[in-house]
Amino acid sequence: MKKSTRFITAFISLAIAISSFSGCDFNEEVPAIGSEESLSQSESSSLPEISEPEITEPVPEPSVTLSSTEVSRGSFFMIRVENADLSDYSFVDFMDYEREFIATDGGWVCFVPVKMDTHPKSYDLSFRIGDFEYSEKITVTDRNINKQYLTVAPSTLEETLEDDAVRAAFNDFFQKYRWYETGVKFWEGEFVLPLGDYVYKETTPYGTFREFSNGATEWHNATDMAAKGGTPIYATNSGVILFADYLGLTGNTVIINHGMGVMSWHYHMSKLDVETGDKVEKGELIGRVGTTGLSTGNHLHFGITVGGIFVDPMEMIGTEPDLDFWKEDAK
For residues 124 and 202, which CB has a smaller minimum distance to Zn ion in the complex?
202
- In angstroms, what is the minimal distance from the CB of 213 to Zn ion? 16
Number of residues counted as binding Zn ion (CB under 5 A): 2
Closest CA relative to residue 325, chosen from 84, 114, 22, 64: 64
- Nearer to Zn ion by Cβ, of 118 and 148: the residue is 148
Does residue 116 contact residue 123 with C-beta atoms inside 8 Å?
A: no
Q: Closest CB to Zn ion among 73 and 266?
A: 266
* Least gap, CB of 220 to Zn ion (angstroms): 6
Smaller CB distance to Zn ion: residue 80 or 301?
A: 301
CB of 321 to Zn ion, least distance (A): 23
Residue facing Zn ion at closest CB distance: 301
**Is residue 224 involved in binding Zn ion (CB under 5 A)?**
yes
Q: Contact, 116 vs 210, CB < 8 A?
A: no
CA distance 142 to 71: 9
> How near is the Cβ of 206 to Zn ion at its closest, in Å?
9
| Whether the Cβ atoms of residue 311 and residue 76 lie closer than 8 Å to each other | yes
Of 194, 147, 200, 210, nearest in space to 313 by CA: 194
Q: Which stretch binds Zn ion (CB under 5 A): 63-71, 158-166, 182-190, 296-304?
A: 296-304
Please, which residue, 67 or 221, has the CB nearer to Zn ion? 221
Q: Which stretch binds Zn ion (CB under 5 A): 133-141, 145-153, 240-248, 298-306?
A: 298-306
| Side-chain half-sphere CA neighbours of 280 within 13 A | 33
- Sign of the Cα torsion 121, 131, 181, 92 reads negative
Min dist CB 210 to Zn ion, Å, is 9
314-318 long-range contacts (CB < 8 A, ≥24 apart) are: 314/202, 314/205, 314/206, 314/223, 315/74, 315/75, 316/191, 316/236, 317/190, 317/191, 317/192, 317/193, 317/236, 318/190, 318/191, 318/192
Q: Is 306 helix (H, G, I), strand (E, B) or coil?
A: strand
Piece in contact with Zn ion (CB under 5 A), picked from 21-29, 112-120, 218-226, 254-262: 218-226
Shortest Å, Cβ 252 to Zn ion: 14
Q: Which is nearer to Zn ion, 100 or 224 (CB)?
A: 224
> Which residues make Cβ contacts (< 8 Å) with residue 63, sequence separation at least 6?
81, 82, 83
Site stretch for Zn ion (CB under 5 A), options 14-22, 43-51, 224-232, 241-249: 224-232
User: Which DSSP symbol is given to 216?
Assistant: -
- We find the least distance from the C-beta atom of residue 224 to Zn ion, in angstroms, to be 4
Q: Does 301 bind Zn ion (CB under 5 A)?
A: yes
Binding of Zn ion by 266 (CB under 5 A)? no
In the sheet that holds 271-272, the strands lie side by side as 232-234, 285-288, 271-272
Pick 278 or 315: Cβ nearer Zn ion? 315
Which range, of 135-143, 156-164, 187-195, 220-228, touches Zn ion by CB under 5 A? 220-228
CB closer to Zn ion, 224 vs 312: 224
CB of 219 to Zn ion, least distance (A): 11
Distance, in Å, from the CA atom of 247 to the CA atom of 249, rounded to the nearest integer, reads 6
* Contacting residues toward Zn ion, per CB under 5 A: 224, 301
